[in-house]
Amino acid sequence: MKIPELREKINSLASQSSHLEPEPDQRKEWFQQVGDYAEHFLKGLNERPVFSTTSGDPTQWSSDFLPDHPAPLPQLLAFVTSEIDAHGLDPASEGHLGYIPGGGLYPAALGDFVAAVSNRYAGVFFASPGAVRLENHLVSWMADIVGYPSSSAGHLASGGSIATLAAVVTARDAKEIKARQIPDTVVYCTNQVHHAVNKALRIAGLGEAIVRFVPTDKRFRMDVQALEVLLKEDRKKGLHPFLLVASAGTTDTGAVDPLAELAPIAKANNLWFHVDGAYGGFFVMSDLVKHLLQGIDQSDSLVIDPHKGLFLPYGTGTVLVRDGAALQNAHSYLANYMQDTLRATDERSPADLSPELSKHFRGMRMWLPLRLFGVAAFRAALDEKILLARYFHQSLAEREGFEVGPEPDLSVVLFRYCPKQGDADEFNRALVQAVQEDGRVFLSSTTVNQQVYLRLAVLSFRTHLSTIDRCLQVLEETVAQLLK
């Protein structure tokens, strides 16, 4: 093509591609329509069931899923409402009391909007000093609240699992675990450890390492003496103890391992000490329970999830590593085409501390709510969750027929109903299913010591006393119905 022809062709393509840049009036209209959708969604939270067994209408999806021609936004938002929002579990609901509840603070959504509109490049300091500095400040703030030194480092990841992978890879490299040693390398945790840890070990190439499940006490916490016995035995066998994983709040029962007792054992045995605080880490902000988390500052690495304990929408986890250089050694890489980005005055870049290069500017969704509401509101919400769990535990213990697990360390309560006749496990399986189908609250179940237990997990910022009272009422009504 000659240049005039080329110009003509380019201009004719631009008349189509410029549809990708809407006019200001169109933007305002769309913004309004999305805002209306959000209001409608939030107003309906208490009218919709927390859980629906339906999955939508697949025929709405199959034919011409992504056509060439444009569609009006209200039609697309109606599709979201009918095909996505109405089915399965509603993590935004105050009644979500199963698994580990999610959040979804409204200003976090606004933060995502701001970050996506400006699309600042938050991977490298050179590209957006402000975005990177914001994320570095958030990481330092988290390091500070858990008691890590200023020489620590970390990054905002997409969630706890990916953050765990970064921690395991850092541990592997810091302890110089080579391929041939892996079959003799030993990892210590309890059987309550989150499967994200096992998954991370396998992805990090440590799938052939030996995993020792250290016995737990009655409250599902790691038994320190049992750990010491295992360590001695393994050394005698000529094995290579490498990694100790403790939980700061297990998913199943909310148990916190005795971190302060474990830390010196890890040190004496030259173990990398990792703490999984994906669920429970932010409870260091609560004066009610922070004593339980003592020793968390002595860990070598820590995972702490703002999309759990800070009530953010899904997509934000954090890894912190006490020796920041170890995190950097495991993740930094130089590419020729990035040579302009190296300047001595630069602050740390997420790209040098994480597996990601181009990444979502996650800091904006975290900073905006923290600043807009102030940190005190978060501290109060965390205290409230702890007390709501204690309230539920005590209230249920007083009710005939219910058996409660240990007093909760954090905000997870284990319980079951003990019918006078029949199989208790079967009854409790039926109970959890009936509660889920009822839809006023959502609970999940687990198996502990070979018995089926129901779990109540309080972590939604929308869950308040009236929600827990509703849950107690639903349980009483459902048990009565099942006994009929």
Ligand X SMILES: *Cc1c(COP(=O)(O)O)cnc(C)c1O
Nearest Cα to Cα of residue 347 among 143, 145, 131, 174: 131
317 binds ligand X (CB under 6 A): yes
Contact residue for ligand X among 194, 348, 360, 455 (CB under 6 A): 194
Q: Is 305 an interacting residue with respect to ligand X (CB under 6 A)?
A: yes
Match 């005795």 to its residue by tokens: 258
The stretches of 237-374 forming alpha helices (DSSP H) are 259-268, 306-309, 324-331, 363-373
Residues in 100-129 that interact with ligand X by CB under 6 A = 100
Residue numbers 375-394 binding ligand X by CB under 6 A: none
The encoded tokens of residue 436 equal 């889920």
Query: Does the footprint of ligand X cover residue 154 (CB under 6 A)?
Result: no
Pick 240 or 274: Cβ nearer ligand X: 274
Question: Per CB under 6 A, does 161 bind ligand X?
Answer: yes
Q: Give the number of residues in contact with ligand X, rule: CB under 6 A.
A: 13
271 binds ligand X (CB under 6 A): no
Of 153, 149, 207, 151, nearest in space to 183 by CA: 207
- If one asks whether residue 313 binds ligand X (CB under 6 A), the answer comes out as no
CB of 247 to ligand X, least distance (A): 6
Which of these segments, 123-131, 156-164, 171-179, 181-189, binds ligand X (CB under 6 A)? 156-164
Minimum distance between the CB of residue 161 and ligand X, rounded to whole angstroms? 3
Near ligand X by CB under 6 A, which window of 143-151, 155-163, 219-227, 264-272?
A: 155-163
**Rg of the chain over CA atoms, in angstroms?**
25
Measured distance CA(274)–CA(230) in Å, rounded: 18
Interacting span for ligand X (CB under 6 A) from 22-30, 272-280, 294-302, 406-414: 272-280
Residues 128 and 115 sit within 8 Å (Cβ to Cβ): no
**Residue pair 254/278 in contact by the 8 Å Cβ criterion:** no
Run of H or E residues at 274: strand 272-277
> Can you tell me the distance from the alpha carbon of 436 to that of 337, in angstroms, rounded to the nearest whole number?
54
* Backbone conformation region of residue 56, classed left if phi is above 0, alpha if psi is from -120 to 50, else beta: left
| Footprint of ligand X on 210-269 (CB under 6 A) | 247, 251
Stretch near ligand X under the rule CB under 6 A, chosen from 57-65, 205-213, 274-282, 383-391: 274-282
The footprint of ligand X (CB under 6 A) covers: 100, 159-161, 194, 196, 247, 251, 276, 278-279, 305, 317
